[in-house]
Amino acid sequence: MLLCPTTATVATEEPEAPDRMTAEDKFWRIYWGEVVMVEDEDVAKAVDASSNVLYDQPKNGVGLLNASMNIACACRESLGETWKVQQRPLPAVSKTRSRKVPPK
C-alpha cells in the first residue's frame, strides 16, 4: 500500500513543492478508495486525523509529521495483528516525534 510513503511525502515536502502536491492528490485518492478495504479501527482513526490536519492546516508541518508517524505506527500494529507476528515495542521517541525535517 502506498499510504505510508504518501503521507511521509506530504509531511516532509514544502507545501508548494510539486512532489507534495502529487502526494496530496494521491493521499485523497487512497483516502476515498483503497484504504477502507484494509484499515482497522486504529488505522482508520489515524488516517482520519491525518486528513483533518491536511484539510484544515495544510502548512502545519509538525502536525503533518505526527499524523504521518501515527499512520505508520497504526499500520505496523495492524499488520502485526493480522499476520500474528510478535513485534518489539517501538521506542517512545518513535511514537512521539515532533521534530522538524532538516533543510534539504
For the stretch 41-88, pLDDT in tens is 999 999 999 999 999 999 999 999 999 999 999 999 999 888 888 877
What's the angle, vertex CA 58, arms to CA 54 and CA 63, rounded to 5? 70
Could you tell me the pLDDT band of residue 39, with boundaries at 50, 70 and 90?
A: confident
Query: Count of CB atoms within 10 A of residue 68's CB?
Result: 24
65: cell is 509529521
Measure CA 99 to chain center: 15
- pLDDT at res. 103: 47
What is the arithmetic mean of pLDDT over 89-104?
58
Residue 93 has pLDDT above 50, yes or no: yes
Q: At what angle do helices 3-12 and 18-31 cross, to 10 degrees?
A: 140
Q: Where are the domains of the chain?
A: 3-95
- pLDDT at res. 13: 95
First to last CA, the chain: 27
**Are 9 and 30 contacting, i.e. CB atoms less than 8 angstroms apart?**
no
